[in-house]
């Protein structure tokens, strides 16, 4: 893959490279200023006159791309609008000024526009320019065609053009593509399907888990069973998929022993809280997460006591730090498009130690909800005192005597000191939640991560900006945010997907749910009995789940959103690939082995005396019906598993492998099934499948 380094984010002052570019460009402009003039392109003219001036529009656009604003943007450019007018004119046309189509306006776009305004055409207009790896128009001819068309904005079709387009949408919005889902999306369109999904009741984990406990063994590991049932058979697929994305941001983990003891109650309810949050408001979601006892136990603000100068006791700062760093605003101040704000070329921290200390006081005095007695602070014994474990599903409540009454300063707001005889933890919490949820970072910070988990690991700044704008305009409505993510041109239009840096590596869990739903696997017992940390050949399931929803190794999840595989073309192109943090030769080999077992035998057998039998299986009936026609079988798998993106080379390999299995004149059922299993294995273990585009 031929990749080029991305342009660094704009700075308040051009760097060394930028100064060199600017100096050379200025010289060219001076030489050409009296020779060329052209009509304004892309509907923006910085001049007060009717036509574009190369010495004005070209210079101002380049300055804007290099990060200059205010008077520095229009200095020494006669005829230019005032600074605010120039900024407004550019900002209004910014998406159309992205002439190379990489999702940002940078120096390449500005130089091309300036050269075009100066009369350069053909290869001369693109000489020496570096195209971003995700540029959709990476040649002079392609950009010129775009300019001559008037710089049109991309349009998203209301309905899929074909089954492949519908399948691609569903691969982003569900746990696996089915023919019924494809038909539904094609019948009612993208937007109506999203609305229909959010109108469905959430298929929650807790009620089913309680039922399994009553009907089978109360000590069975029912938590993961419940998740698999909801993910695979829940009709509310979009809510399920969005909740899983949220669970990778708002992380709790049963690897933590404080939570592990409650894993058949508390974690399921926490996940159900995220399910509710998919159709609610971010402010409410953040508060519900903060007050959930599982989060309290995991990040140690459960039982957090106020400061005591006499003994040197200070409030635990763990949650105060993580709720800012991971759950709301991130480490650095962001522009609306998710790029970092810079001061003298350096990122600006969103918070400091004093903010952590002030916010930590807010999270003092909280413990088990509905239990205001001697057991209030007892993290370990509540399950034994109350066998139904209802405490683990109730929001935490404050014990007034343990809440800090001193002044609390954080993020520019102040919670005044409270009377020592009348502490008010809920008032303190309200100020904190209001401040965090209204911070301008939240839209781009949370929006970008949701895009990464559902669509692509490297969303362009403009994609992030559009999603953040939807978040802000809706006051943090999560449905509106998810809808903006899935209906964005960068999610729907295939020309974006064709760029080398687009897409996301499918983590093993999503590969397996895709296999299950798309190929019609069902649970014979109805319990979806899948165990924890299973390995290839394990009779309990025979599959590898290295990213199950409840056992992340840390609050940072299984992989970080900014992970860059070292010494790769991904790193050279300044892209990220989060899921590659858990991908290596061993994990890939394990997936292939596990898939082979699952494709042949099914999986899941930790239930109902089926120890060496698979509980989750499929008949492959639609696929077996096509087994004598390899191309028809490949077409079906290509649509369901690869959204119609299978290459001719992979198709030839799969066809060749299918044809190695002869179908006898009699007793052909086994041979047909074998053909299907081979086709599934080769398709889902291919690099083309592993990267969702």
b vs e for 248-262, b when ≥16 Cβ sit within 10 Å of the residue's Cβ?
A: bbbbbbbebebbebb
Q: Determine the average pLDDT of the residues in 103-127.
A: 85
Task: Report the alpha-carbon distance of residue 386 to residue 314 in Å, rounded.
Answer: 31
Reduced to 3 states (helix: H, G, I; strand: E, B; else coil), residue 522 is strand
Task: Report the alpha-carbon distance of residue 419 to residue 427 in Å, rounded.
Answer: 13
Q: Which residues are CB-neighbours of 120 under 8 A, at least 6 positions away?
A: none
Q: Determine the average pLDDT of the residues in 506-511.
A: 93
Q: Is the dihedral of CA 95, 97, 102, 108 positive or negative?
A: negative
Reduced to 3 states (helix: H, G, I; strand: E, B; else coil), residue 691 is strand
Q: Which tokens in the block code for residue 325?
A: 């760093």
Q: Determine the average pLDDT of the residues in 541-547.
A: 52
Q: Which residues are CB-neighbours of 437 under 8 A, at least 6 positions away?
A: 282, 283, 286, 328, 476
Report residue 366: phi and psi, to 5°.
-105, 135
Q: What is the DSSP string of 22-83?
A: HHHHHHHHHHHTTT--BPPSTT---BSSSSB-IIIIIHHHHHHHTT--THHHHTT-TTBPPH
Q: Which tokens in the block code for residue 60?
A: 């101002």
Q: Which tokens in the block code for residue 279?
A: 């159709």
Task: Report the alpha-carbon distance of residue 32 to residue 581 in Å, rounded.
Answer: 50
* pLDDT classification of 219: cutoffs 50, 70, 90: low
* pLDDT classification of 549: cutoffs 50, 70, 90: confident
* pLDDT classification of 265: cutoffs 50, 70, 90: confident
- Kind plus residue range of the DSSP H or E element containing 289: helix 282-291
Residue range 512-540, pLDDT digits in tens = 999 999 999 999 989 888 865 444 344 44
Task: Report the alpha-carbon distance of residue 452 to residue 570 in Å, rounded.
Answer: 15
Q: Determine the average pLDDT of the residues in 245-273.
A: 91
* pLDDT classification of 580: cutoffs 50, 70, 90: very high
User: Is pLDDT of 418 > 80?
Assistant: yes
Q: Determine the average pLDDT of the residues in 568-578.
A: 94
Quote the pLDDT of residue 546. Answer: 62
Any idea what DSSP says for residue 355?
A: H
HEC string of 172-238 equals HHCCCCCHHHHHHHHHHCHHHHHHHHHHCCCCCHHHHHHHHHHHCCCCCCHHHHHHHHHHHHCCCHH
Q: Which tokens in the block code for residue 637?
A: 């798998």
Yes or no: say if 52 and 127 are a contact pair by the CB < 8 Å rule. no
Reduced to 3 states (helix: H, G, I; strand: E, B; else coil), residue 361 is helix
Quote the pLDDT of residue 54. Answer: 62
- What does the chain come to in residues? 693
Task: Report the alpha-carbon distance of residue 633 to residue 625 in Å, rounded.
Answer: 9
Task: Report the alpha-carbon distance of residue 12 to residue 9 in Å, rounded.
Answer: 10
Give percent above pLDDT 90 in the chain. Answer: 64
Distances (CA, A) of 6 to 104, 124, 129, 134, 342: 10, 22, 12, 9, 17
Yes or no: say if 658 and 630 are a contact pair by the CB < 8 Å rule. yes
Q: Which tokens in the block code for residue 591?
A: 């997936």
Q: CA nearest 223: which of 242, 247, 198, 199? A: 247
Q: Which residues are CB-neighbours of 363 under 8 A, at least 6 positions away?
A: 290, 301, 304, 315, 316, 319, 320, 429
Task: Report the alpha-carbon distance of residue 342 to residue 105 in Å, rounded.
Answer: 17
Yes or no: say if 515 and 176 are a contact pair by the CB < 8 Å rule. yes
HEC string of 302-327 equals CCCCCCECCCCECCCCHHHHHHHHCC
Q: Whole-number mean pLDDT of the chain? A: 87
Quote the pLDDT of residue 19. Answer: 47
Give percent above pLDDT 70 in the chain. Answer: 86
Specify the higher pLDDT residue, 626 or 606: 626
Q: Which tokens in the block code for residue 164?
A: 């492949």
Q: What is the DSSP string of 38-51?
A: BPPSTT---BSSSS
Specify the higher pLDDT residue, 448 or 547: 448
**Helices 16-32, 107-117: inter-axial angle, 10-degree rounding:** 10
Quote the pLDDT of residue 215. Answer: 78
């Amino acid at each position: 893959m031929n990749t080029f380094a991305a342009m660094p984010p704009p700075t308040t002052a051009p760097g060394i490279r930028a100064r060199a570019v600017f100096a050379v460009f200025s010289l060219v402009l001076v030489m050409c200023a009296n020779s060329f003039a052209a009509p304004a392109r892309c509907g923006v003219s910085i001049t007060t006159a009717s036509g574009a001036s190369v010495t004005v529009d070209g210079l101002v656009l380049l300055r804007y791309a290099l990060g200059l604003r205010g008077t520095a943007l229009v200095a020494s450019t006669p005829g230019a609008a005032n600074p605010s007018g120039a900024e407004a004119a550019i900002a209004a046309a910014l998406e159309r000024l992205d002439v190379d189509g990489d999702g940002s306006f940078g120096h390449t776009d500005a130089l091309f526009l300036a050269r075009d305004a100066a009369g350069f055409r053909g290869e001369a207009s693109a000489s020496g320019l570096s195209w971003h790896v995700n540029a959709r128009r990476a040649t002079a001819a392609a950009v010129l065609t775009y300019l001559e068309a008037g710089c049109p904005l991309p349009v998203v079709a209301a309905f899929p053009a074909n089954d492949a387009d519908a399948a691609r949408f569903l691969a982003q919005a569900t746990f696996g593509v089915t023919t019924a889902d494809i038909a539904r999306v094609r019948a009612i369109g993208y937007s109506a399907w999203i609305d229909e999904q959010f109108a469905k009741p959430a298929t929650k984990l807790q009620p089913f888990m309680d039922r399994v406990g009553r009907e089978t063994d109360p000590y069975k590991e029912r938590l993961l069973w419940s998740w698999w049932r909801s993910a695979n058979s829940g009709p509310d697929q979009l809510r399920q998929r969005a909740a899983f994305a949220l669970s990778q941001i708002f992380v709790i983990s049963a690897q933590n022993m404080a939570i592990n003891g409650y894993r058949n109650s508390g974690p399921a309810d926490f996940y159900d809280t995220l399910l509710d949050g998919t159709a609610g408001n971010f402010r409410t979601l953040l508060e519900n997460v903060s007050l959930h006892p599982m989060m309290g136990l995991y990040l140690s603000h459960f039982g957090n006591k106020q400061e005591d100068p006499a003994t040197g006791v200070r409030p635990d700062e763990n949650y105060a730090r993580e709720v800012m760093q991971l759950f709301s605003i991130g480490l650095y101040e962001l522009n609306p498009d998710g790029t970092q704000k810079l001061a003298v070329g350096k990122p600006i921290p969103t918070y400091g130690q004093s903010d952590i200390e002030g916010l930590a006081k807010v999270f003092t005095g909280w413990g088990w909800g509905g239990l205001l007695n001697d057991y209030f602070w007892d993290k370990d014994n509540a399950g034994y005192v109350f066998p139904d474990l209802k405490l683990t599903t109730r929001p935490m409540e404050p014990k007034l005597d343990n809440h800090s009454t001193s002044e609390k300063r954080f993020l520019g707001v102040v919670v005044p000191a409270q009377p020592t005889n009348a502490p008010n933890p809920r008032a303190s919490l309200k100020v904190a939640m209001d401040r965090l949820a209204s911070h301008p970072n939240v839209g781009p910070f949370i929006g970008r991560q949701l895009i990464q988990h559902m669509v692509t690991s490297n969303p362009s700044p403009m994609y992030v900006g559009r999603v953040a704008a939807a978040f802000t305009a809706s006051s943090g409505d999560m449905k509106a945010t998810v809808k903006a993510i899935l209906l964005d041109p960068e999610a729907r239009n295939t020309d974006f997907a064709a760029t080398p840096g687009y897409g996301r590596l499918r983590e093993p869990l999503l590969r397996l749910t895709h296999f299950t739903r798309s190929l019609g696997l069902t649970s014979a017992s109805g319990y979806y009995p899948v165990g924890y940390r299973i390995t290839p050949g394990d009779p309990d399931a025979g599959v590898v789940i290295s990213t199950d929803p409840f056992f992340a190794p840390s609050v940072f999840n299984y992989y970080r959103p900014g992970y860059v595989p070292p010494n790769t073309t991904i790193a050279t192109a300044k892209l990220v690939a989060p899921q590659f943090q858990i991908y290596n030769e061993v994990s890939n080999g394990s997936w292939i082995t596990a898939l082979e077992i699952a494709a042949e035998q099914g999986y899941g057998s930790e239930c109902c005396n089926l120890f060496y039998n698979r509980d989750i299986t499929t008949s492959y009936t639609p696929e077996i019906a096509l087994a004598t026609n390899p191309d028809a079988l490949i077409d079906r798998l290509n649509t369901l598993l690869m959204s119609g993106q299978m290459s001719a080379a992979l198709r030839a390999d799969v066809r060749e492998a299918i044809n190695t299995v002869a179908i006898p004149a009699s007793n052909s059922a086994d041979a047909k099934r074998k053909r299907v299993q081979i086709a599934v294995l080769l398709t889902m273990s291919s690099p083309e499948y592993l990267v969702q585009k």
